[in-house]
Amino acid sequence: AFSFRPPCTPLDVASPYQSTWSCTDNLTDAAPVHWTGDELDWVGLVRVGDAVYRWLGAPVLEIAAARQISVEVLPTLSRYVFQAGSATLTVEFLTPAIDHDKDYVWATCPVTTVSFKLEGSPSAEVYFDMSAATATQKDDEEVTWSRDAGPGIEVIRAGTTAQK
């Protein structure tokens, strides 16, 4: 069987401005980085029963890392599988490729979805925090955000106030 492990795994890669990568073997070894090398404050946790595990982000908290079982990198999808206590957590980062010649409206809306699947524990919860700094080029830029929800999905939008 062929095994492919790129030097960095794409997490949120929709454009040169929206380009976040994990450049370590495990998603818990270090913070994700922008392609410029700037670290981004992303945190992922999973609670299984009374225990909390970190599945994403630098080991700055006194929280044990979930054991990464696998990572799979496909053209538009990066899939991670973790073992956290009795639970198995699958996390998928999907940035759909849009045919820019046919749908100009969607081509201007870079979107990445993050989905979660928990199995093996009746009492488990997932937490994911993507810093609003992900939407900025400089640390001093003002950020605005909004939240929207629909059946089975929650959407959070963030951008600088200067973006029109």
Do the Cβ atoms of 94 and 115 come closer than 8 Å?
A: yes
Percent of the chain whose predicted confidence (pLDDT) is above 70 = 88
Q: What is the pTM of this model?
A: 0.83
Vertex 27: Cα angle to 35 and 80 (nearest 5): 105
CA distance 80 to 151: 25
pLDDT band at 145 (very low <50, low <70, confident <90, very high): confident
Closest CA to 90 of 74, 72, 64, 75: 72
Closest CA to 65 of 49, 80, 53: 53
Closest CA to 53 of 25, 19, 88: 88
pLDDT for the residue numbered 19: 87
The domain segmentation of the chain, as residue ranges, is: 9-130, 132-164
